[in-house]
């Protein structure tokens, strides 16, 4: 973290930064709950695999935010070393869940393409996806600043997840708009395969990033 190391931050300043991280994670939790609920509800109504993947990814990020709140709480109570241990376990679990979601999307998309099943256009899905882009941009920028100030790998990883979610929402918006204009049955399945790249990258960063932490720690 630039010229000032994490150990040089006065305890009172670090506590204030942790509380700021709590606030930004509270916003993340509130939005991810809304995003996941709306996206999954819209996915079921429209039989959309793209929206379903987007919604489940939101729930995984929601769980990640809860884990980060736990990690920050552990640091306040027991110190940074205990928090790092909690962080490593949580990141591995998140990585496995993302890989599992990517596998599900590939299998489901393949089945939909084989049987020529398409999803319907969803206005609620479009609205929540459009709103996600500026919200994720704001959250990711704030998290990156706090991560640098705290020297927190966990918070930086969470910021990367927010950035990924922003790009993911862009893919969903594009897919829904193409589906609305052309009414092509294959758009939903094809777009869901595009989401897989983001899921795999996010899962790989969660898994491999923690290996780096193990070697560095």
- 117 located within any domain: yes
> Cβ contacts of residue 9 below 8 Å, gap of 6+?
17, 149, 150
Dihedral (CA of 143, 145, 150, 152) sign: positive
- 206 located within any domain: yes
pTM score: 0.79
Residue 1 has pLDDT above 50, yes or no: no
What's the chain's average pLDDT? Answer: 83
- 1 located within any domain: no
- 139 located within any domain: yes
Residue-wise burial string across 150-168, b where 16 or more C-beta atoms lie within 10 A, e elsewhere: bbbbbbbbbbbbbbbbbeb
Contact status, residue 173 vs residue 126, Cβ threshold 8 Å: yes
The string of pLDDT tens digits covering residues 121-166 is 999 999 999 999 999 999 999 999 998 888 777 788 788 888 888 9
- 189 located within any domain: yes
Q: Burial-class residue 46 by CB neighbours within 10 Å (0-12, 13-18, 19+).
A: buried
Q: DSSP code of 120?
A: P
- 33 located within any domain: yes
- 128 located within any domain: yes
What is the structure's pLDDT at 84?
66
Q: Burial-class residue 104 by CB neighbours within 10 Å (0-12, 13-18, 19+).
A: middle
Query: How would residue 73 be classed by pLDDT, with cut points 50, 70 and 90?
Result: confident
Number of domains in the chain: 1
The domain that contains 73 carries what CATH number? 1.20.1510
CA contacts within 13 A on the Cβ side of 15: 6
What is the structure's pLDDT at 83?
62
Residue 186 has pLDDT above 70, yes or no: yes
Range of the structural domain that residue 83 is part of? 6-216
- 90 located within any domain: yes
Closest among 87, 59, 62, 63 to 73, alpha carbons compared? 87
């Amino acid at each position: 973290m630039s010229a000032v190391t994490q150990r040089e931050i006065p305890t009172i300043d670090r506590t204030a930064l942790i509380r700021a991280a709590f606030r930004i994670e509270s916003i993340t939790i509130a939005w991810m709950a809304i995003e996941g609920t709306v996206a999954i509800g819209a996915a079921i109504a429209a039989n959309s695999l793209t929206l379903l993947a987007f919604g489940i990814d939101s729930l995984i990020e929601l769980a990640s935010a809860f884990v980060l709140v736990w990690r920050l709480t552990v640091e306040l109570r027991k110190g940074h070393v205990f928090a790092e241990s909690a962080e490593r376990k949580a990141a591995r679990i998140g990585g496995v869940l993302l890989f599992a979601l990517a596998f599900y999307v590939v299998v489901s998309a393949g089945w939909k393409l084989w049987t020529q099943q398409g999803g319907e256009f969803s206005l609620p899905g479009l609205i929540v996806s459009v709103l996600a882009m500026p919200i994720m941009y704001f959250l990711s920028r704030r998290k990156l600043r706090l991560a640098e100030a705290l020297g927190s790998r966990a918070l930086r990883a969470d910021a990367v997840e927010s950035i990924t979610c922003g790009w993911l929402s862009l893919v969903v918006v594009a897919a829904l708009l193409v589906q609305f204009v052309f009414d092509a049955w294959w758009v939903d399945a094809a777009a869901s395969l595009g989401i897989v790249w983001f899921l795999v990258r996010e899962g790989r960063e969660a898994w491999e990033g923690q290996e780096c932490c193990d070697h560095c720690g």
